[in-house]
Structure 1
């Protein structure tokens, strides 16, 4: 465990480049950024910021002493660099931690127990805190210990450094391979989307041609049958794509990071033997076409909610809602004629009979049949003897049919 950082009073002072007015100013030549917008601040091993003009002027002829008061370090021009962080205290701490990590570069695999590895990490963190926040005495002792460790374990440090480089190189190659595989997958998806777009355009043209050449009154039936065939083909294509992905995973190709590996036949059988019991074989029985609400507006059910005689028997409103919705949605997108393979003549007769029964006769209170036509006229008992001829005349021309999109359900 690492100890809390001591007070910053013992840390090396890092001057700021902002004056009292909040403007960036060089501490040596007092040049404001307002006067020189291209001014760049540079730092050296002492972390004292200087503008690029001061660096060129003071260190043009070779090494020179740092111009800051009480700083006696000899600096070279080539050692100046642009800081990464605006806070030079953070910049200094990052550099120190990078230096310590280059010397203490052991990993958990180099220790026999986790306790030894944690003690090693605690020692490294304590030494780092002394270098960053310790006073002059603690800083000097930590620096001496760091140099002694580096001299004593030089060969081991070099060996760990090479191993770390190889590990980073392997990680870089793996990341590049993942990027390449992701690019290939994106290209394949784009290709599939383009093919799907073209297929939809082709199917639309085929639908229009079939509707134009379909018999009278069969346009809706032809369209529904065509869409059923398209759904069957799409389902077969999805199954084939799933099989291809499973085969690719089993052959050892690239996998997506973060996703579980698909089990093979042997691993799946073992998992089935050792896994928990699934009563429905992991089938999701949750309805996909509707969502059951907690309450619906219904006068009859609202009255039953306060009837203790009904509630005493364990009547469940949720079960009633589920059963009613299930029965309402059951059978949608299922075409019996397509599954039975009925001939075209019987299909035409069925459709025409359904269209002829659009206006059903209603029985009045006196027992007479009251047939209302689309024109609003009423047929009495005396007109029933005219037979089907007047019935066909009353029905009038064939109503315009609108294609029903079954997939919307």
Structure 2
């Protein structure tokens, strides 16, 4: 029965080493090795390669395989699986970006060389020469390869942050829609009950007018709910701000190593802004019963209120603009745009 069942199974569901199939063992998992891409079950891999490297058990294959090189198959077609792995491996070495080239033609020529290398490795054409070119290029451009890999990693992190933020945005929208629908249903139920009570207890007006007033009340309530929902905290900003947030998160993760920050360095937004007062001097006290009462209160002293700061602020606002030449400001202003 086993032989018959195995013969009726597709070839990809039968292990070529032990000849067991998924019919007899539904939990069987198949693995492939990136050296030769021969497929075998996980039990055979453990049995043959647990003690160390060994030759591939498939007839006609002399490749030496290691257990840590086996992986789950992603694509049904092994040729596609192999090409994807080759492209990943080549992209780790040839990872130059378009902005590194002076012209688009140079960049296209570079991409053509990369595709030629991938074709050779996938189809076993001049494989040794292509592998040597990869090794030589990797040895000669280690710093550039590492820098581009870092940039790519940051872009992937930013994309992941954007994806998470947009997912949160969609989740908030779904919650808002559910809450709004539930509120509408509750409001309609309450209105139906009100109509029943009004019809039962009203002494003036006919039934049609009572129903119309109730319907108008329902519509006003729904409009109020919708307007409050638009102003509510769940109104999430557009995706552009999400991307800006992702950029700021990426920029905060790492600072350039070439910049040294001293302990005394700090940011001062008004470092270059100087205000020179030549118009007045602030006295220690002015007659102001309102401020005097506040200054002498215990609550004001406990909160740190300082009446001298109020004097400075009031005088600053009173004298603001003195000494400013309007004509000079006009001459220094930017020219207006004409339409």
TM-score (normalizing by structure 2): 0.59
Instruction: Describe the shift of the 1:241–1:194 C-alpha distance in structure 2 as closer, same or farther (beyond 3 A).
Output: closer
- Separation in structure 1 between the aligned mates of residue 216 and residue 15 of structure 2, nearest angstrom: 78
Corresponding position: 1:108 with 2:98: yes
Question: Which segments of 5 or more consecutive residues in structure 1 lack a partner in the other structure?
Answer: 1-17, 258-273, 275-409
Q: Which secondary structure state, in structure 2, belongs to the residue aligned with residue 50 of structure 1?
A: strand
**What is the count of residue pairs matched by the alignment?**
235
Q: Is the 8 A contact 1:19 1:25 kept in 2?
A: no
- Separation in structure 2 between the aligned mates of residue 33 and residue 228 of structure 1, nearest angstrom: 67
Q: Which secondary structure state, in structure 2, belongs to the residue aligned with residue 61 of structure 1?
A: coil
Question: Which of structures 1 and 2 has the larger relative contact order (alpha carbons within 8 angstroms, sep 6+)?
Answer: 1
Partner of 1:165: 153
Corresponding position: 1:41 with 2:51: no
Instruction: Describe the shift of the 1:37–1:46 C-alpha distance in structure 2 as closer, same or farther (beyond 3 A).
Output: same
- Separation in structure 2 between the aligned mates of residue 52 and residue 161 of structure 1, nearest angstrom: 33
Q: 1:79 aligns with which of 41, 48, 69?
A: 69
Partner of 1:396: none
Partner of 1:329: none
Corresponding position: 1:123 with 2:113: yes
Q: Kindly indicate which of the two structures has a greater share of residues assigned to helix.
A: 2
Q: Is the 8 A contact 1:178 1:254 kept in 2?
A: no
Instruction: Describe the shift of the 1:30–1:181 C-alpha distance in structure 2 as closer, same or farther (beyond 3 A).
Output: closer
The equivalences for 1:53-202 within 5 A come to 53-135=43-125, 138-202=126-190
- Separation in structure 2 between the aligned mates of residue 77 and residue 47 of structure 1, nearest angstrom: 13
Q: Is the 8 A contact 1:40 1:51 kept in 2?
A: yes
Partner of 1:203: 191
Instruction: Describe the shift of the 1:165–1:222 C-alpha distance in structure 2 as closer, same or farther (beyond 3 A).
Output: same
Shift in Å, 1:121: 1.8
Partner of 2:326: none
Partner of 1:372: none
Partner of 1:311: none
- Separation in structure 2 between the aligned mates of residue 100 and residue 179 of structure 1, nearest angstrom: 33
Q: Is the 8 A contact 2:188 2:218 kept in 1?
A: no
TM-score (normalizing by structure 1): 0.50
Question: Which segments of 5 or more consecutive residues in structure 2 lack a partner in the other structure?
Answer: 1-5, 241-338
The equivalences for 1:175-254 within 5 A come to 175-215=163-203, 218-235=206-223, 238=226, 241=229, 244=231, 254=237
